[in-house]
C-alpha cells in the first residue's frame, strides 16, 4: 500500500497529471507519500524559479460588494461589516509606499463595488501605470463583461485574479446565491485569458460541501485551463456568514494540494496565501516548502485593514503590519529562499 502511494507521487512528477481516482487517493495518502510529494514539488519549484520568491503588494481598495457569496465576510447581506472605499489619492499613496519598499507588482482587490465604474477603474490603472511603468498591475475585482476586461487591459492592466472557487457546478451553487452562475465565472476566466491577461484561478480548501471528488475536479480543471497563477488557501469561517460554524480547511491537505499543483503545472505562480498563514503560524513557510513561490503582503492603509475581513482573525491587520515586509523577508529566508523585487512574471506561458 505504502509503495503504491509513493509511486503515485512519482507518477505525478513524471507525467504531470493523474486520473481523478488517483488524485483522490493522494489526498488521503500516508505521511511518507506526503513528504515525497512535498520534496518533489520543492525540487520542481527550484528548477523553475530557483530560490526566488516573488512579492506582490495587495491593496484592498473597497469592501463594498453587490454579491452575496455565502462564505465571504464582506458579502452584501452582512450588516455588521463596516464599509470603506479608498480614494484615488489613497490608492496612489499605497503604491508609493509599496514602490519604496521595493514592490514591483501591485494587486488591486475589492468586493464587486459598482461605485468604481469602468471609467474610474481605467483612471486608476492609467495613473499607476504611467507613474510606475516598471511595475505589473494585477486586478482582482470580480466578474465583469468581456468589454470591461478588454478596456482595463488596454489601459495597461497586466494580470487578473479570479478564483473559479470550485469546478463543480452543483458545489458552486451551494456556495453562492441564485444570481451568481458557475457558467459566468468560467466565461470570465476564458475571456481574461483570451484577452491576454496573465490569469489566475483558484479555490478554497475545505469549503462547505466540498468532497474529494470536487477537489480532483478542481485540479483537472486547472490542468486543462493552464492558468499563469493559482491561488489556493484554506476556507476559514466568518462569524457573520451562513457558514459560521463550519470548520476551517485543513492545513495538511492545503499543503498537499499546493505540491500537487506545482507538479501538475511546474511553471505556475503559486502564492503561499494569507489564509494559510492565518490558520498556521508557519503557514507561509510551509507553503513555500510545499512548492509555493509567491507571497502577497498587504499594502492597504492600516486604518482599513481590519475592515477587509473576508474571514475571521485575518493576520497582519494590526499596528505591527507596517513591518510586514521585514517579517516576510525573515520567514522566507528561514526556508532557504529570498524575496526578489522584480515584476515576477509567470513562466507558464
Ligand atoms: N471580489 C473579488 C475578490 C474576492 S476576495 C472576486 O470575486 O474575485 C478573494 C478570495 O478570497 C475569494 O475568491 C475567495 O476564494 C477567498 N475567500 C472569501 N471568503 C473566504 C473565506 N471565508 N475563507 C477563505 N477564503 C475566502
- CATH code for the domain in which residue 252 is found: 3.20.20.70
Mutation choice for ligand 1 from 72, 236, 298, CB with most ligand atoms inside 8 A: 72
Beta-carbon neighbour count of residue 143 at 10 Å? Answer: 17
Of 199, 165, 161, nearest to 182 by C-alpha is 165
The helix/strand/coil state of 305 is helix
What integer pLDDT is reported at residue 321 of this predicted model?
Answer: 63
Dihedral (Cα; 24, 28, 33, 39), 10-degree rounding = 80
What percentage of the chain carries pLDDT values higher than 70?
98
How close is the Cα of 11 to the center of ligand 1, in Å?
32
pLDDT band of residue 319 (cuts 50, 70, 90) is confident
pLDDT digits 0-9 by tens, 30-72: 999 999 999 999 999 999 999 999 999 999 999 999 999 999 9
pLDDT band of residue 325 (cuts 50, 70, 90) is confident
**Is 70 exceeded by the pLDDT of residue 161?**
yes
Which residue's CA is the closest to the ligand 1 atom numbered 25?
235
Confirm whether 345 is domain-assigned: no
What integer pLDDT is reported at residue 322 of this predicted model?
Answer: 65
The domain total for the chain is: 1
What integer pLDDT is reported at residue 202 of this predicted model?
Answer: 98
pLDDT band of residue 318 (cuts 50, 70, 90) is confident
What is the DSSP secondary structure assignment for residue 16, as one 8-state letter?
A: S
Q: From residue 133, give the alpha-carbon distance in Å to each of 61, 155, 156.
A: 21, 12, 9
Confirm whether 139 is domain-assigned: yes
Using CB distances shorter than 6 Å, the residues near ligand 1 are: 71-72, 109, 111-112, 140, 142, 162-163, 165, 204, 233, 235-236, 238, 275, 310-311
pLDDT band of residue 1 (cuts 50, 70, 90) is very low
User: Is 274:232 a contact under the CB 8 Å cutoff?
Assistant: no
Distance CA 349, CA 339 (A): 22
Mutation choice for ligand 1 from 67, 115, 310, CB with most ligand atoms inside 8 A: 310
What integer pLDDT is reported at residue 3 of this predicted model?
Answer: 60
Beta-carbon neighbour count of residue 131 at 10 Å? Answer: 12
What is the DSSP secondary structure assignment for residue 114, as one 8-state letter?
A: T
| Containing structural domain, residue 330 | 2-340
Mutation choice for ligand 1 from 109, 163, 182, 275, CB with most ligand atoms inside 8 A: 163
How close is the Cα of 308 to the center of ligand 1, in Å?
11
Cβ neighbours for 294, distance < 8 A, ≥ 6 positions apart:
53, 54, 55, 56, 229, 269, 270, 271, 272, 344
pLDDT digits 0-9 by tens, 281-300: 999 999 999 999 999 999 99
pLDDT band of residue 162 (cuts 50, 70, 90) is very high
How close is the Cα of 291 to the center of ligand 1, in Å?
22
What integer pLDDT is reported at residue 235 of this predicted model?
Answer: 98
Confirm whether 274 is domain-assigned: yes
Confirm whether 309 is domain-assigned: yes
The β-bridge relationship of strands 105-110 and 136-140 is: parallel
pLDDT digits 0-9 by tens, 75-130: 999 999 999 999 999 999 999 999 999 999 999 999 999 999 999 999 999 999 99
User: Is 226:265 a contact under the CB 8 Å cutoff?
Assistant: yes
pLDDT band of residue 6 (cuts 50, 70, 90) is confident
How close is the Cα of 209 to the center of ligand 1, in Å?
17
What is the DSSP secondary structure assignment for residue 319, as one 8-state letter?
A: G
Confirm whether 302 is domain-assigned: yes
Please report the sign of the dihedral spanned by the C-alpha atoms of residue 311, residue 200, residue 95, residue 118: negative
Report the atom number in ligand 1 closest to the C-alpha of 111. 1
Mutation choice for ligand 1 from 71, 179, 244, CB with most ligand atoms inside 8 A: 71
Q: Give the residue with greater pLDDT, 349 vs 174.
A: 174
User: Is 141:110 a contact under the CB 8 Å cutoff?
Assistant: yes
Distance CA 60, CA 63 (A): 7
Amino acid at each position: 500500500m505504502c509503495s503504491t502511494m509513493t509511486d503515485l507521487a512519482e507518477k505525478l512528477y513524471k507525467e504531470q497529471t493523474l486520473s481523478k481516482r488517483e488524485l483522490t487517493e493522494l489526498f488521503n495518502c500516508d505521511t511518507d507519500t506526503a513528504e515525497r510529494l512535498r520534496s518533489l514539488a520543492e525540487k520542481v519549484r527550484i528548477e523553475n524559479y530557483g530560490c526566488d520568491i516573488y512579492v506582490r503588494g495587495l491593496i484592498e481598495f473597497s469592501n463594498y460588494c453587490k454579491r452575496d457569496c455565502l462564505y465571504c465576510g464582506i458579502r452584501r447581506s452582512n450588516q455588521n461589516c463596516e464599509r470603506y472605499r479608498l480614494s484615488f489619492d489613497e490608492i496612489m499613496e499605497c503604491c508609493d509606499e509599496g514602490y519604496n519598499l521595493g514592490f514591483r507588482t501591485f494587486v488591486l482587490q475589492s468586493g464587486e463595488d459598482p461605485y468604481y465604474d469602468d471609467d474610474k477603474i481605467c483612471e486608476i490603472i492609467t495613473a499607476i501605470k504611467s507613474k510606475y511603468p516598471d511595475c505589473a498591475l494585477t486586478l482582482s475585482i470580480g466578474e465583469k463583461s468581456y468589454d470591461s476586461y478588454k478596456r482595463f487591459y488596454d489601459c495597461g492592466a497586466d494580470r487578473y485574479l479570479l478564483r473559479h472557487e470550485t469546478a463543480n457546478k452543483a458545489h458552486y451553487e451551494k456556495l453562492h446565491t441564485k444570481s451568481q452562475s458557475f457558467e459566468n465565472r468560467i466565461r470570465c476566466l476564458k475571456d481574461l485569458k483570451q484577452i491576454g491577461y496573465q490569469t489566475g484561478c483558484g479555490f478554497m480548501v475545505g469549503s462547505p460541501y466540498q468532497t474529494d471528488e470536487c477537489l480532483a475536479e478542481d485540479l483537472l480543471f486547472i490542468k486543462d485551463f493552464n492558468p499563469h497563477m493559482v491561488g489556493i488557501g484554506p476556507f476559514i469561517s466568518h462569524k457573520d456568514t451562513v457558514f459560521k460554524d463550519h470548520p476551517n480547511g485543513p492545513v495538511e491537505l492545503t499543503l498537499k494540494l499546493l505540491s500537487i499543483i506545482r507538479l501538475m503545472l511546474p511553471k505556475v505562480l503559486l502564492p503561499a496565501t494569507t489564509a494559510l498563514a492565518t490558520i498556521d503560524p508557519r503557514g507561509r513557510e510551509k507553503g513555500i516548502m510545499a512548492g509555493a513561490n509567491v507571497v502577497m503582503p498587504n499594502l492597504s492603509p492600516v486604518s482599513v485593514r481590519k475592515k477587509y475581513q473576508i474571514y475571521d482573525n485575518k493576520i497582519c491587520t494590526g499596528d505591527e503590519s507596517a513591518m510586514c515586509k521585514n517579517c516576510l523577508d525573515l520567514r522566507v529566508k528561514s526556508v532557504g529562499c529570498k524575496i526578489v523585487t522584480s515584476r515576477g512574471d509567470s513562466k507558464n506561458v
